[in-house]
Structure 1
C-alpha cells in the first residue's frame, strides 16, 4: 500500500513525530505531530500557559454499539476513556493542568461499507460521539473539530501555535487505511474476548 506522505511545507524545519493507531505523544517542544485517520480519532490537547501539548490516535473496540445511549458508558467507551486519560495524565506529569486544557478533535470517518458482517461500519460514528461526550463531561473546551464524513484524513498538529492542518486523502488510500483499521479492530476485539475468558479461571495456591 502506498500511503499519503505526511508533508506540510509551511513548517519545513520543525521536527516531526508520526503516530500510529494506539499511540499518543506529549511534548513541551515545538514539533509537528502527524497521523493518518480513517475511522480512528485523534484528539489534540494543549495547556498554553504551561507550554505542554499532546495528541493521541485510537479506535474504540467493541462488536456492539447502542445508538440510544452515551458512547462513554459502553464497553467501547471504557477503552476510549483509558486512551484519553493516559494522554491527559501524561500531560499533567509534565506540568499541564487539567483545568487549562483545550482540545481539537479529528477523524471518525465512515470510509467504506464493505464489512457488512460486523459493526465496523459504525465505528467512526461512535468514535466521534465518544470524543465529544468525553470532552463535554470533562469540561475541556473544543476549539475546533473535523469529525465524520466519508474521507480519510492526514492531520498535523503544530504544538507551538496549536494549529492543526487537515488534508483529505484520495479515496483509494482512504480505503486501504480503513482496511488496516478494520484488521486492528478485529485483533483488539479478539484480545479483549480472550482476556474475558481468562478472567473466569481462578487459581488458588
Structure 2
C-alpha cells in the first residue's frame, strides 16, 4: 500500500480516480458500490445511507439512486467507458434491531443497488451484503481489488 494515496470515504460521499488510491470506508446499513473500468484503470466508490431520493430535499449522494448516477458521471469525466465498468456491492447490514414491520433499510439499500446496476447493464462481479455486522472496506482504484472485514457491532 506504500505507493497508494489514501482517502477516507464518509457517508453520503463518493470518490473516483485515475491515480492509484486506496479508499477506506466503514459500513453498517449503508451500502458502498465499487465501480471499476479495467481497461482505463479508473475506479470509483460511493457510500450511501438511504435507497432513493424522494425529491423533497437536496438530491445528494446520501441516496442510492443519486449516488450511483453521480459516480458513473464522475468516472465518465475521468475517461471511463460504461461498457467496461464492473461493480462490487458491500454493506446493507442490519446492525440495529428494528421493531418495524416494513422492509429493513439495509435490504432496501442493497435492492436499489442491484436494480439500478441491472438497469444500466453493469455486471455485479462480487458482493458481501446483509447480515448483522458492519464492514470495513479497502478499495484499490487501479486494480478494482476490494479487501473487507467484518466488524462487531461494538466497533461502530
Specify if TM > 0.5.
yes
Which structure is larger by alpha-carbon Rg, 1 or 2?
A: 1
Counting only pairs closer than 5 Å after superposition, residues 40-119 of structure 1 correspond to structure 2 as 40-60=30-50, 75=54, 79-113=63-97, 115-116=98-99
Give the TM-score, by structure 1 length: 0.67
Does the 8 A contact of 2:93 with 2:132 survive in 1? yes
Which residue matches 1:4?
none
Does the 8 A contact of 2:38 with 2:143 survive in 1? no
Which residue matches 1:21?
11
Which residue matches 1:162?
144
C-alpha deviations, 1:124-162, integer Å up to 9, x for none? 010011111111111101110001010000000012221
1:100 CA drift (Å): 1.3
Gaps in structure 1 of 5+ consecutive residues: 1-10, 62-71, 175-205
- Distance in 1 between the 2:101 and 2:17 partners? 37
Higher relative contact order (CA 8 A, sep 6+): 2
Q: Looking at secondary structure, tell me which structure has more helix per residue.
A: 1
Q: Looking at secondary structure, tell me which structure has more strand per residue.
A: 2
Gaps in structure 2 of 5+ consecutive residues: none
- Distance in 1 between the 2:81 and 2:18 partners? 13
Which residue matches 2:108?
126
Distance change >3 Å, CA 86–CA 104, structure 1 → 2: same
Aligned residues: 150
